[in-house]
Each structure stands twice: as C-alpha cells, then as structure tokens.
Amino acid sequence: MSGRVTSEEIKKLDRRDMLGKLKGFSLQCEEAYSLPAPALLPEKDFNRIIFCGMGGSAIGGDIINALAFENSRIPCFVNRDYCLPFFADGKTLAVIISYSGNTEETLSALEKARERGCPVVCITSGGQVEKIASSDKLPLVKIPGGYPPRCAMGYLFFPCYKILSALGVLPELDASIFNRIRRWSEDFFPENEKSLAKGAALKFYGKIPLIYSGARFLPALTRWKTQIAENSKSFAFINVFPEMNHNEIMSWRYPDWFIARSVPVFITSEKEHPRTDKRFKITREIISGVNTDILDLRTEGDSLLEEIFYLIVLGDWISFYLAVLNGADPTEINGIDLLKKRMGGTS
C-alpha cells in the first residue's frame, strides 16, 4: 500500500493510463451519442424492454430502468444471466449489450431472445454479437473497441439512450449534459488539490465504505461498488432508502471491529422525496451514535440523468484514487481474467 496520491505514485501504478480514460470521459460520452442509430429499428408494438448484459455493459440498462421508472409507461428490466425471464416473448424488446461481443451470458440471452421471437437491438464493439447481428440483419450499433469494458460507459449508455429516445420510450436528450460531465471531471483531476474525489478516497483508505442513497440512485451506487471492486481492489457495500430502514439499520451494532473500520456515506439530493429526506436525517443521527466518521455527499444536476452521471463521474475518480492509495494498478483484473480462462471463455 502506498497511502499517498501523488503524480509520482500515479505514474508508477497507472501503467495502462486509466487516468487518460477518466480525463477523456466527457468526449467519449459526446462521441457515443453522435454515433448513428441503426437504420432499421424494431416496430414499436413491444410492451416491455429487457436489457441483457453483464458488468459494465449492464449498468447502462440500470440507468435506463431508473429513467423509465419516472418517464415511461413501458416497463424495463435488466437481465444479468444466461436465461431470459419467462415473460420474454415477441412483445419484449431485447437490448443486447456486450462491449467485447463475446460475453457468454449475454450470448446465451441473445440466443434465447431469437428463439422466442423477441425484437432485438445489439450494442457491441465486435465479437460474436456483431457476427450474429450482421448475419441475421439485426439492428446494431458498432462502438469503438480497445477499452476495458468498465471504461466504455459512455459508449455503452448513450447509443442505448438514443435508440430508446427514437422509439419514444424516453425523452430527447438535453445535450448540455456533456458540458456538465466535462466540468465535473475537471473538478476531480489530480491537479486539483481540493478534489472532492481525492478527499473521499483518503477517507475510504484502509476502511470499508457503506454507501447509502435514495432508491433513484441505485444505478450509480452499483457503479460505485463495481468500480471500487475492479479499480481499487477493495470492498464497498451499498443500500438505498427507504428499504435500508426496514432491515440494515439494525446492523449497526456488531461486530465492533467492522463498525470501527467502516465509513458511512450518505448521498442526498435536493429532489429527494420529503419522507425519504427525513429518513436520511434520522438514520444519520442514529448511526453517528456508533460511528462519527461519516461522509456526506450531495448530488449535482437538473435532472435525474444528470444527477446519476455526476455520481458516476465522482465514483469513478474516487475508485481511481483509492487504487493509487492501495498501491494497485487500477486497470489490472487478474482475478477476473483467471476465472474466465478457467471457464474456457474469452469475456
């Protein structure tokens, strides 16, 4: 463990330029939205949507699901498995998202979707998904390759949003979000000694963050958990209000050593339901009785999509700085690669 965030430590540990990818994220998002939508989109007579993907490829579906909850009459589901739910049929739009195009669970779900006659849209950088889409003339968005999948968040999400906007499922995107993503990213650059992301990483160093938000931000919390796992090689736990108040609030007793080594994180929003906001205040007071090392964060943005992306940008930078503090290469995923090799797969 290095325990320091300096330019020298970053240069020594970040051998595959995760820093450059984080700095270029806003440009990636803007480029991704400019990619042409498929020439042939499915007919609009579907009555539900299921997003099939794993890891970084599935987070985009989580975000769409959260947006559809507030903006669409068409229910959305995210499927992280080899199979499809029983309800999936010819009225179910299957959005197949695999960055590599070779993710075995997603390929299996694609096969099941074709067997059941689901209308299908594919988003990938290549691999078997592209080959199947090309041979079967399925709508396809081809995105740039060469990134670790978790670093291709913009390419995986914004073409998906563009498709669903064209289908009338979601409203047209406000393009000002790209300027905001750029500004937020710049606020967290290493050159900024007062970076909120750097300060949060220092607070997490050597401890276990327990991250809480309202249910609307679960996709962002999921992203935090997975980025801290892959980039920082650390544990993080997440939960949302009001569900947390019906069970996990009772966990703040034992074991003593865990509570002493944890960091409660409360992420709030000006747009939170007033009853949920009250729950935050009361819960924070209760937890502070056993752990005062609390981190309070506030979302930014005028819409739910902007708030989610603010948190995603912040969480990505926190996970990068925490990797440096841990003395870890933020890009390396040897454990995942070994598992895939032993499973006989490629992605």
Over the stretch 227-260, which tens digit does the pLDDT of each residue have?
999 999 999 999 999 999 999 999 999 999 999 9
- pLDDT at site 325: 97
* 347: pLDDT strictly greater than 70: no
In which residue are the tokens 């801290």 written? 228
Active site includes 340? Answer: yes
Q: Say what percent of the chain tops pLDDT 70.
A: 99
> How does strand 48-52 pair with strand 237-241?
unpaired
CA geometry: angle at 177 spanning 299 and 69, to 5°? 65
pLDDT band at 301 (very low <50, low <70, confident <90, very high): very high
Active site includes 246? Answer: yes
| Angstrom distance (rounded) from CA 213 to CA 276 | 10
Of 43, 137, 194, 246, the catalytic one is 246
Active site includes 281? Answer: no
- pLDDT at site 346: 63
pLDDT tens column, 70-121:
999 999 999 999 999 999 999 999 999 999 999 999 999 999 999 999 999 9
- pLDDT at site 3: 73
CATH of domain 18-173: 3.40.50.10490
Q: Coil, helix or strand for 206?
A: coil
**7-16+187-325 domain in CATH 3.40.50.10490?**
yes
pLDDT tens column, 146-163:
999 999 999 999 999 999
Chain region(s) in the chain for CATH 3.40.50.10490: 7-16+187-325, 18-173
Of 105, 130, 230, 332, the catalytic one is 230
Burial state string for 238-271 with b = 16 or more CB within 10 A and e = fewer than 16: bbbbeebbeeebeebeeeeeebeebbbbbbbbee
* 170: pLDDT strictly greater than 90: yes
Position 109, amino acid? A
| Angstrom distance (rounded) from CA 291 to CA 221 | 21
Greatest C-alpha distance within the chain? 61
